[in-house]
Structure 1
Amino acid sequence: MATVSDQLSKLLTHRGIEAEVSQRLKRMPTIVEKIALRESRLDLSRMQDIGGCRVVLPTEGADPVYRVDSIVNDHWGEAVKKRSDYVTNPRRSGYRAIRRRAGRTTHRDPVAEPLDAPVGRSGRGAQ
């Protein structure tokens, strides 16, 4: 995750985008709740979003989120296994982000499997 986080931060800086890029691990209570209540047939080895990178943008509106999403797609598009757009279709909780789940494509590819990368605004964005 550190390699991807560092690469993403440099890539966004190079493109002139102000953003907070961080790594995150899913908290144990959330893991337990997901397995016990939401997806009872899921075991820990198949959980796809235990760790990942997070991009938080300081600006309002969807345009910056989609710009970062486009940059991520240009750089890691081949590795993306799933993309969810919660900017256009927010969750009831207020969660608004674009999430990409990626997996390793080659041995030299720094994207560890799996990578969950929410991109959203500050506030109720990528939480």
Structure 2
Amino acid sequence: MSVRRFGVSLDEELLEALDSYVSDNRFANRSQAIRHLIEKDLVEEKWKCDNIVAGAITLVFSHQKNDILKKSSEIQYKYREVILSSQGFYLNEQNYLEIIAVKGPSHKLTEVSEELISIKGIQHGKLVMSKAQ
């Protein structure tokens, strides 16, 4: 793949934000960060077209709250046509990490992830998707 150069003009505030993004994400330079952002945007646009995608939903919560795992299982059963697998890990005495592998239409994966992440007591949740075809 050949690389082509071009110039970009940004106002000071936006350039500072880009530099922070480069630093925070440990990119080697601005070009890598801009490439990453463009590719990310292109993938997200494809999600809007409702392509078949694969991904993972990660949830972090207190494993001492048994109702969270029960609710998560109920939601996963409801969406079993897009759930490939799930796995859980005890991070420490308090926290539990659940990773749920998914594949299906992007709107369905977004729907299931939003339902899981909205369970009361979820400390952190995120859906990561990639084109599957």
TM-score by length of 1: 0.35
Q: Which has the higher contact order (CA 8 A, sep 6+)?
A: 2
Name whichever structure is richer in strand by fraction: 2
Larger radius of gyration: 2
Name whichever structure is richer in helix by fraction: 2
